[in-house]
Amino acid sequence: MGAAALLMLTGGATIAHGAADGTDGAPAPDGGGHAAHSTGTGAGTGTGTGSGEAGPVGGASRSGGFWMRADGVFSPPGSFVPSDALTYDTALVPAAARIEITQYADRTSHRVGTRLRGLVPNRAYGMHVHTSPCAADPASAGPHYQHRASATADPVNEVWLDLRTDRNGNGEAEARHEWGFRDGGARSVIVHDAQGGAGKRVACFTVPFSS
């Protein structure tokens, strides 16, 4: 329905709280940083549960759009401290690695971004939005979310967040489209061991995406 631009970046993660359009003293989710290929030097830390995760935050922006941000700390399925972020391969996504997902939409665009830290340094990873929540079985997250079901498996029809980590194991990416998610259709992101349309599922994060 329109071209999608996929930006791949590396760097440390910073977490911003506030309105999507930059009001209340916080930058917009895009904030010029992703588009300019800038990287941060710090790493945000969540607060809340014993795992160090912060609950999802979000709301409406004064420009008429909406935003959402969710944080997760990866742990293996069945861990003593439950987590919405599951690692199925601790060699590639170590326990205690962190993930942040942001979503922003306005009248003309829809953006989904990710920041990760604590992965394998200098390595390529694939990531896509999937249709179902995470569970102990990696297949439980279902297939890729598609704007037009069964049309094409590519970054125009799906949300691809391929990235390469830096020497510290940190990375980030953002995908932009002219379309948004169907109500309840997007429920998680899967981290794959390779970039592109497929690859082994090595981690999963259940995300409360908005439509």
- Chain segment 8-32, per-residue pLDDT in tens: 333 332 233 334 444 333 334 443 3
**Strand intervals (E) in 26-170:** 57-60, 66-73, 85-87, 98-105, 110-117, 124-130, 163-164
Lowest mean pLDDT among 55-69, 176-190, 194-208: 55-69
**Conformation bin of residue 29: beta by default, left when phi > 0, alpha when psi is -120 to 50:** alpha
pLDDT beyond 70 at 192: yes
| Rounded Cα distance, 161 and 171, in Å | 10
Supply φ then ψ for residue 8, to 5 degrees. Answer: -115, 125
Give pLDDT tens digits for 139-180: 999 999 999 987 778 999 999 999 999 999 999 999 999 999
| Rounded Cα distance, 15 and 69, in Å | 9
At residue 42, the 3 state secondary structure works out as coil
The burial of 33, by beta-carbon neighbours within 10 Å (0-12 exposed, 13-18 middle, 19 or more buried), is given as: buried
What local confidence, expressed as pLDDT, does residue 58 receive? 53
| Rounded Cα distance, 175 and 10, in Å | 14
What local confidence, expressed as pLDDT, does residue 206 receive? 98
- For residue 91, how many other CB atoms are within 10 A of its CB? 9
Return the structure tokens found at 89: 């391969």
pLDDT beyond 80 at 201: yes
Name the residue type at position 131: T
Give pLDDT tens digits for 56-115: 665 565 566 788 999 999 999 999 988 999 999 999 999 999 999 999 998 888 999 999
The burial of 135, by beta-carbon neighbours within 10 Å (0-12 exposed, 13-18 middle, 19 or more buried), is given as: middle
CA-based R_g, the chain, Å: 16
- Are residues 44 and 1 in contact, defined by beta-carbon separation less than 8 angstroms? no
| Rounded Cα distance, 29 and 26, in Å | 9
Return the structure tokens found at 6: 């996929």
Tell me the mean pLDDT in the region 37-49: 34
> Distances in Å between the alpha carbon of 116 and those of 71, 119, 122, 142?
10, 7, 13, 22
